[in-house]
Amino acid sequence: MKLKSFIFGAIAVLAFVSCDRNTDGLVLDAPVLEISDTSSTSFTVAWNAVEGADMYTYEFMEDQASTEKLSVSFEDLKTDTLYTVKVKAVSTVAKAESEWSEINVELVSSGTSPDPEYVINLTAEMKPDMVLNVKTSPTDKEAPYYFEPVPGSIYEGFNDDPEAMFMDIINTYLEYYQYDSAMAFENLKMTGDEDKDYNISKYAEPEFFVFAAGIDEEMNITTAVESVKVSLDLPVSENKFVIVVDVCTQSEIRVTVAPTNGDQYALILQDKETVDALSDTQLKSLLLSLVNDNNLCVNETTMTYNKNIVPSHDYSILVFGYEEGVITTAINRKDIRTPDPVVVEDLTFEFEITPVGPREVDVEIRPSDEAASYFYDVVSLSDWTQYYQNEPSLYVEEMADSQGRDVLDYLDAFGSIGTVTYTYDDFYLSPDSDYVLFAMGYYVEGDQVIWLEAQYEDFHTPADEGGEGPVENLTFELQIMGVEIGRFYVDVIPSDNNAPYVYAVMTDIEYDEYFLPDDIYGYFYQQYENSGFEGTFAAYVESISKTGESYELSDYYQSDDCWYYKLIAAGVVVDGDNVTFYAPSEMYLWYETW
């Protein structure tokens, strides 16, 4: 679980913000409210400074008052009570005021009085390979409780207060379960002795803490909070780094890093907005998940990035020592921004189209100016002729609309710059069919997209001979990259790019039921039956089969009642209505979502 910085003992919901104007036209935004310094009998409401305001009026328990400060505190309140605070911005000079902003605060007690006779007997120790082992032996084997490990960097924010830390854990889960206490209790409760292992390699900090306490069906804390600290003997490097940006264009970034010693380090480029949104603990976890042989370095290193680099975008260069799955230095960061694209009225393109197989084509698009923006894609020849040839921009508008985006937002995500190579696979292509690759330049004036003349070239995919047998010695490299909007991001790399295969993200129960007894056929047949697919099982398998690398947001979702997953893959041969799976492969380690 990724812990958030929740408010101790409070559940706060921002109701609305808006703005108002006076008769002279001055507009005052309503202040944005947040809760801080909360206990079971007190809290503070703070807000941002509103431009043009010199005073703020607040309403609490039907009383109104004004202040020039940006916060107000309330004390000696009743616990287990819901309070409402309203705040509006005021300009005494312009005689203007904003609409009210409103926030609700529920002061929550820690539940029933702790039972002094009940002890969970919590212990923890490190095992090899960055595994944290936690054991409990409660004095009451029937009483429900819960425990969870927490990195030291998270616990620092709670001023060594175990009860505040544990309440934050509980509140985070309550939010996750949409404040359904019964559901949260059912999924979290533990009883009797426990012996659990946690792989903490993606957090790898010098200290870890484990917190445990009794809970009831309303997710109240029913005992004293027990905690244990585990210290890790992690490697430390004295390495320091000088980061120099050699090149920063609309489509390329080149960076040189000069370390002060020969210790190993990692060099990673990330979207700045993503980095800014993460806590220190979350950032360390992300970076550890991204380390691979391609970004590990020793001595002075120059790295060039020219894939997925876009103009007018902020990036962060992140450099840190790395050894045996551990960050060994401070994280060094340098932020940069790529230049805006240039406007080229007579932009032209050269295409290179290489059919690799019946369902796979490699394309390369080379613009006449590497600093100009353009859009490209492949459509069927019939669609091109019937709908888009005379107005190619219509295709972009339809694609943007299908994703609920406006055109500018869609182009931010899918526009291109510089020379691009891309592989279109069976998600786009069918055997023995005609297609068109097209590209068209554009530039932006205000909120309008100005389209330039499109160029296109048609191509034909070869026929599928069918009935081919298994590929000899087929293997896979498999990795779950993360979870996004509840879906697994996966990377599947087959040893033969022409071999059709299928993949799946299995829960631990599905793995035991289907993969271990070598029943891949049974698993995918169950998927077929549950999918509502109109057609034969063979046709279903053909519709989901892949060739080449699959680096994508999959159709497999994280389950609320499962913490352990494995990415599996297998080669597949479809001959008429006969389907054969072979060469099953699996991730080496489980992917954990606790």
pLDDT per position as a tens digit, 229-288: 998 888 889 999 999 999 999 889 999 999 999 999 999 999 999 999 988 888 988 898
| Res. 543: pLDDT tops 80 | yes
Cα–Cα distances in Å, from 482 out to 56, 130, 565, 577? 44, 20, 11, 35
Over range 353-370, report the average pLDDT: 92
pLDDT of residue 231: 87
Residues 515 and 282: their CA atoms lie apart, in Å, by: 33
Quote the tokens at residue 556.
Answer: 């497999």
Residues 74 and 336: their CA atoms lie apart, in Å, by: 44
Spell out the domains of the chain, with CATH numbers in brackets.
10-107 (2.60.40.10), 122-231 (no CATH), 241-337 (2.60.40.10), 349-460 (2.60.40.10), 476-592 (no CATH)
| Res. 319: pLDDT tops 70 | yes
Quote the tokens at residue 187.
Answer: 């999924």
335 in Cβ contact with 307 (< 8 Å):
no
The more confidently predicted of residues 11 and 376 is 376
Quote the tokens at residue 325.
Answer: 């799955």
119 in Cβ contact with 138 (< 8 Å):
yes
pLDDT of residue 199: 87
Where do the H-state alpha helices sit in 416-460? Answer: none
Amino acid occupying residue 377: D
Residue with tokens 């091109």: 384
Residues 52 and 49: their CA atoms lie apart, in Å, by: 9
Amino acid occupying residue 533: F
Q: Can you give the three-state secondary structure of 475-490, one letter per residue? A: CEEEEEEEEECCEEEE
Residue with tokens 């001979």: 465
pLDDT of residue 58: 92
Over range 167-181, report the average pLDDT: 91
43 in Cβ contact with 35 (< 8 Å):
yes
Bridge partners of residue 349, in order along the sequence:
367
In DSSP notation, 98-144 reads -PPEEEEEEE----SPP-TT----EEEEEETTTEEEEEE--SSTTS-
Residues 152 and 129: their CA atoms lie apart, in Å, by: 19
Residue 588 DSSP label: S
Bridge partners of residue 148, in order along the sequence:
211
pLDDT of residue 560: 75
Residues 469 and 500: their CA atoms lie apart, in Å, by: 10
The more confidently predicted of residues 432 and 86 is 86
Quote the tokens at residue 303.
Answer: 């790295």
Residue with tokens 């790019």: 497
Local confidence band at 109 (pLDDT 50, 70, 90 cut-offs): low
The more confidently predicted of residues 538 and 23 is 538
pLDDT of residue 307: 80
452 in Cβ contact with 345 (< 8 Å):
yes
Residues 399 and 408: their CA atoms lie apart, in Å, by: 12
pLDDT of residue 17: 37
| Res. 202: pLDDT tops 60 | yes
pLDDT of residue 117: 67
Q: String of b and e for 391-417 (b: at least 16 CB within 10 Å)? A: ebbebbeeebeeeeeebeebbeebbbb
Residues 220 and 111: their CA atoms lie apart, in Å, by: 5
Of 581, 496, 575, nearest to 539 (Cα)?
575
Residue with tokens 């710059």: 417
Quote the tokens at residue 393.
Answer: 């921009």
The beta-carbon contacts of 50-53 under 8 Å, at least 24 apart in sequence, are: 50/89, 50/98, 52/26, 52/27, 52/28, 52/89, 52/91, 52/94, 52/96, 53/28, 53/89, 53/90, 53/91, 53/98
Cα–Cα distances in Å, from 408 out to 299, 340, 398, 404, 405? 42, 15, 13, 12, 8
Residues 277 and 138: their CA atoms lie apart, in Å, by: 39
Determine the length of the chain.
594
| Res. 331: pLDDT tops 80 | yes
Average per-residue pLDDT for the chain: 86
How far out from the chain centre does Cα 234 lie? Answer: 27
pLDDT of residue 2: 30
β-pairing, 19-21 vs 43-47, is: unpaired
pLDDT of residue 363: 95
Of 413, 466, 459, nearest to 437 (Cα)?
459
Residues 485 and 170: their CA atoms lie apart, in Å, by: 22
pLDDT cut 90: percent of the chain above it: 47
Q: Is 532 exposed, middle or buried (0-12, 13-18, 19+ CB in 10 A)?
A: exposed
Name residues whose C-beta falls within 8 Å of residue 58's C-beta, 6 or more positions apart in sequence: 45, 64, 65, 66, 67, 72, 85, 86, 87, 88
Where do the H-state alpha helices sit in 291-392? Answer: 381-383
Quote the tokens at residue 535.
Answer: 């057609």
213 in Cβ contact with 120 (< 8 Å):
yes
Amino acid occupying residue 125: E
In DSSP notation, 218-257 reads T--B-SPPEEEEEE---------EEEEEEEE-SS-EEEEE
pLDDT cut 70: percent of the chain above it: 93
Local confidence band at 4 (pLDDT 50, 70, 90 cut-offs): very low
pLDDT digits (tens, 9 = 90+) for 475-494: 999 998 888 767 888 999 99
Residues 405 and 449: their CA atoms lie apart, in Å, by: 14
Bridge partners of residue 278, in order along the sequence:
none
Residues 561 and 581: their CA atoms lie apart, in Å, by: 29
pLDDT of residue 82: 79
pLDDT of residue 465: 61
Over range 453-464, report the average pLDDT: 90
pLDDT digits (tens, 9 = 90+) for 389-418: 999 999 999 999 888 889 998 998 889 988
| Res. 18: pLDDT tops 50 | no
